[in-house]
Amino acid sequence: MHLIYGECGCNASAAARLYRERYPNAERLPDYRVFVHVHESYSVGRLPHVRKSGGTPQADYEDMVLDKVENDTGTSVRAIEMNTGVPKSIAQRILKRHQYHPYHVQCVQILVPQDYLPRMEFRRRMLAKNQEDPQFLDKILWTCKKDGYFNLHNLHGCYTENPHLKRQGRSQNQFKINLWTGILNGQAVGSFELPENLNGENYLNFLQNELPILLEDVPLNIRRDMWYEQDGCPARYARPVRDHLDNEYRG
């Protein structure tokens, strides 16, 4: 297989076609990925895995797989196969037998030291308001923004117990793409793309001219009692912005 791969100029798809032409009666006809794996194995000085008796003992497989997971909890069975030659199916069975599970990472916002006291005060105020009115939290227009993207789909860690993994994001310290979205009484409001360079003037323009349009489908009785929540970034703490919010909303 490796000779055919070289004969085809390291073109895995062409190697797979040529192999099928030369060995049409073979029990199994490998696809292009097998040729890539064989070549990578030889390139790092490792013989590709051969599923025959007399090969690597199952106990050695377990040691290799478990060592990989212990050294890198974010590895995958595909990476284990590429680095050790242990087939994905065997690696999956080993991890399952030892009760390892791929726990996904939760995205959370990073906190700096000066954030803690204001957040504690905010929590006390919310608890007091909720005791006065059990429906209070449903009357808040919660706002959020997205200023960057990363894919959490394949971001995980293999552990025997859920460690509740988190990844911190620095959304308070930089603004690349400002996408505003609100949640009011369990319903989404928006979204709306704010200017890339957010300042008090264009944020005030959003509050005065764009937000009323986004709230048109919200019943009047809900809007009348609505509170507007936001963070304290400079653009949202500008004096004209605060004056407008004080005039339009309760808090």
Task: Read off the pLDDT of residues 22-35 as tens digits, 9 standing for 90 and up.
Answer: 998 887 788 888 88
Task: Read off the pLDDT of residues 206-225 as tens digits, 9 standing for 90 and up.
Answer: 999 999 999 988 888 888 88
Question: Taking a C-beta distance cutoff of 8 angstroms, is the pair 91, 81 a contact?
Answer: yes
> What percentage of the chain reaches a pLDDT higher than 70?
77
How open is the CA angle 196-117-177, to the nearest 5 degrees? 10
The full DSSP string for 194-219 is: PPSS--HHHHHHIIIIIHHHHTTTS-
pLDDT above 60 for 192: yes
- Give residue 201's pLDDT band: very low, low, confident or very high (50, 70, 90): very high
CA distances from 92 to 64, 69, 125 (A): 13, 12, 49
Task: Give the pLDDT of residue 157.
Answer: 58
Task: Read off the pLDDT of residues 128-182 as tens digits, 9 standing for 90 and up.
Answer: 988 999 988 888 888 876 555 445 555 555 656 665 655 555 444 444 567 888 8
Nearest to 41 by CA among 56, 54, 26: 56
Query: Which of 45-49, 53-57, 142-146, 168-172 has the largest mean confidence?
Result: 142-146
Say whether pTM exceeds 0.85. Answer: no
d(CA 140, CA 222): 10
Task: Give the pLDDT of residue 178.
Answer: 77
pLDDT above 80 for 17: yes
CATH number, span 109-248:
3.30.420.10
Amino acid, single-letter form, for residue 98: H
Enter the tokens of residue 13. 């798809």
